[in-house]
A and B are shown apart, each in its own frame.
Chain A
Amino acid sequence: MSILVNKDTRVVFQGITGESGALHARACIAYGTNVVAGVTPGRGGQMFDSTVPIYDTVEDAVKKAGADTSCIFVPPPGAADAIVEAVDAGCKLVICITEGIPVLDMVKVRRYLEGKSARLVGPNCPGVITPGECKIGIMPGAIHLKGHIGVLSKSGTLTYEAVGQLTAMGIGQSSCVGIGGDPVAGLDFIDVLELFNNDPDTHGVIMIGEIGGGAEQKAAAWIKANMKKPVAALIAGRAAPEGKRMGHAGAIISGGKGTAAEKIEALEAAGIKVAPTPAAMAETLKSLMG
């Protein structure tokens, strides 16, 4: 088992003919992901790399190619619309890689998702991978190893760092989920922790947060009350100054709120072990595993 994606996941790439959409669709196909369709309005009827049919709409990709999960590479001006299109077409999982979507667009998208069963991962995230089965996103597939540790993170490269450390120690991963660094996004830490908690194949979790907002503090309280499995955490941005956006739209300390110290304190108070440096994530988790 795993969470969110597996060998049976049927993926449609929205924006498959764009430069990065094409690049990553190819890498996902090479990894073994079942990419059943691409969508680029106006290019319906053509083929991508002579193997993947392209449709004008996600609805066609779902109806004609049986896609159930969408991966979005549509540029920011059209990305929120692409998410809504995927949800309306019946995709049960929508993974949005696009960075730079206006926050007010995402406020509307979140409102639209209320009461719907579709799940959104991202935007501004590396995607989701279940090693050995299905890779949807931009993460380097080769660093992963099939196993039992769940990884969830606001940061792409820190996820790779954690996975690289785990794999180097011979510890595999069940699934790795990038939830993205935007202030308003889809699944949050608690949503994904709940999935890992209920997944019999996940035995422990590395959770990577960063400065800005209060999601990590809420997750700490949730873990304390509900989590049955060991969790090691990292908070990036201990050295970050106040009031400066550190790359991610959401990674900013404002009004003295959302500091790394505040988050680490909340996590430690909930009994969660926090890695002292980003180089010690796997080691910290290992110390918790029997």
Chain B
Amino acid sequence: MKIHEYQAKQIFARYGVPVPKGELALTVAEVGPIAERLIAETKIPVTVVKAQIHAGGRGKGGGVKVAKGGAAGATALAQEILGMQLVTKQTGPAGQKVRRLYIEQGLDIARELYLALLVDRDARRIAIIASTEGGMDIEEVAHSAPEKIITIHIDPVLGLAGYQARKLAYALGVGGKETMKAFTKAVDALYRCFLAEDCSMLEINPLVVTKTNEIVALDAKVTFDDNAEFRHPEWEALRDIEEEDPVELEAKRAGLSYVSLDGDIGCLVNGAGLAMGTMDIIQHYGGSPANFLDVGGGATQEQVTKAFRMILSSPKVKGIFVNIFGGIMRCDIVAAGVVAATKELGLKVPLVVRLEGTNVEQGKKILNESGLAIQAAGSMGEGAQMIVAAVRGKAA
């Protein structure tokens, strides 16, 4: 689960990580007074207007701008940014509508660093990744100048060792007495935050050194580990559903795993691996999947009905492929769910069903007796070819 920059900074502040002063604005009218307050409090005439969307690359897309003309300047920029369709390399070509602004104090920046914490799956440890090349695309730095990236791994028993924080500080050139102390304190706080908040990723780009030698998190990107949601009831309040795909959200609430894709063949599959494999094989035969949908192992008939209803009601779907290899999942439950949803909403597109595994005969019987125009496939390969042919035939 992703959260906004301003929410991440509020969390950082609780752990003692220095962040700039700032306030959230949902309307342009709020921006002027906020900017005035910030300027009065900080004695710095500059403010920054920042679009709050979940995707990265906001600066390059025109979603982060520095206001030099006091409150009026900030208001003018807010006018420009709030409501815009912000396109970044992470949003896709359609972009994401800006509904929230974060107004922040300006800072006198001496240096920009990069710092991130994440779970390194190969090392099976939390890793801290740092670089002197702050403000840049870190993937580009990793590619063009890998020697400028420092990585340390943290032993979960020992925690962050003092020498490790110092090692990072020296490597980043913040080894002076004052900055060293501020830096190691901030890194220690971030590690505690990562653990306690169940983060899967925490990125600060840039972490800045000000001209007065303070260390400040100028940006903040935090992703939580979805698996830990059960021990974080407070996450619900941080969730911004407007940033999420409505269909994916509906699926999640129904206990289904769903990802929207750009194609036109809807898929209903059990198991994440088989669901990915089904997308792959559709693509292999020249089709294009409209979604990833894993109904899981223990789905009820109601969940299958709900899942199939979601596919049926999607206007982009020109054909449907149900691919089930029943293990825990029983084929008769899938068949009953498919029939129930289809009887309710009608079937206007070709439907190919491949059933295999537990209770396959009962499943096939339910489909046969439903009177629906279902094409039965004997294997995954055959089913994929049938649905691609049916959709292409219809399109031509």
Binding site for B on A (CB under 8 A): 20, 23-24, 76-77, 100-104, 106-108, 110-111, 126, 138-140, 143, 153-161, 164, 181, 183-184, 208, 210-215, 218, 234, 236-241, 243-251, 255-256, 260, 276-280
Contacts and interface: CB of A to CB of B under 8 A. Distances in A.
B195 to A, nearest CB: 6
B280 A158 contact: no
B292 A246 contact: yes
A212 B379 CA distance: 27
Contact of A111 (B139, B157, B198, B276): B157
Residue of B261, B272, B284 most packed against chain A (CB within 10 A): B272
B335 to A, nearest CB: 17
A267 to B, nearest CB: 15
Given A108-B156, A161-B380, A239 B124 contact: no
B259 A248 contact: no
A158 B271 contact: yes
A96 to B, nearest CB: 13
Interface of B: 90, 119, 121-122, 124-126, 138-139, 155-157, 195, 198, 200, 225-228, 230-231, 257, 259, 261, 269-284, 289, 292, 294, 297-298, 325-328, 356-358, 379-381, 384
Given A156-B271, A279-B379, A101 B280 contact: no
Main SS of chain B's interface residues?
mixed
B230 A239 contact: no
Given A103-B119, A183-B119, A278-B274, 15 more contacts: A107-B156, A157-B274, A158-B273, A164-B325, A164-B357, A184-B121, A210-B272, A214-B122, A236-B280, A237-B280, A239-B261, A239-B280, A247-B272, A277-B381, A279-B381
Given A110-B124, A214-B122, A239-B282, A251 B274 contact: no
A205 B200 CA distance: 33
B279 A247 contact: no
A42 to B, nearest CB: 21
Nearest to B194: A104
Contact of B273 (A100, A107, A140, A154): A154
Given A138-B327, A255-B139, A239 B228 contact: no
Contacts of B356: 160, 164
Given A156-B297, A160-B325, A279-B384, A247 B276 contact: yes
Contact of B357 (A108, A143, A279): A143
B139 A256 contact: yes
A210 B276 contact: yes
Contacts of B327: 126, 138-140, 156-157, 160
The 4 A-B pairs with the shortest beta carbon distances in the complex, nearest first, are: A155-B273, A247-B272, A157-B271, A279-B381
Contacts, number: 184
Contacts of B292: 240, 244, 246-247
Given A107-B125, A236-B273, A247-B276, A161 B325 contact: yes
21 contacts: A23-B328, A102-B198, A102-B225, A111-B156, A138-B328, A158-B271, A158-B274, A159-B273, A215-B121, A236-B280, A238-B280, A238-B283, A240-B276, A246-B275, A246-B276, A247-B273, A276-B284, A277-B277, A277-B280, A277-B284, A278-B280
Nearest to A157: B271
Nearest to B263: A239
Contacts of A161: 274, 277, 325, 380
Nearest to B277: A278
A244 B276 contact: no
A126 to B, nearest CB: 7
Nearest to B118: A254
A165 B278 CA distance: 15
A241 B283 CA distance: 13
A283 to B, nearest CB: 10
Contacts of A108: 156-157
A94 to B, nearest CB: 16
Nearest to B90: A243
B99 to A, nearest CB: 21
Contacts of A20: 298, 328
A132 to B, nearest CB: 18
Residue of B125, B200, B274, B279 most packed against chain A (CB within 10 A): B274
B358 A140 contact: yes
Contacts of B326: 140
B325 A157 contact: yes
Nearest to B248: A244
A107 B90 contact: no
Nearest to A238: B280
Nearest to B289: A239
A183 B273 contact: no
Contacts of A237: 276, 279-280
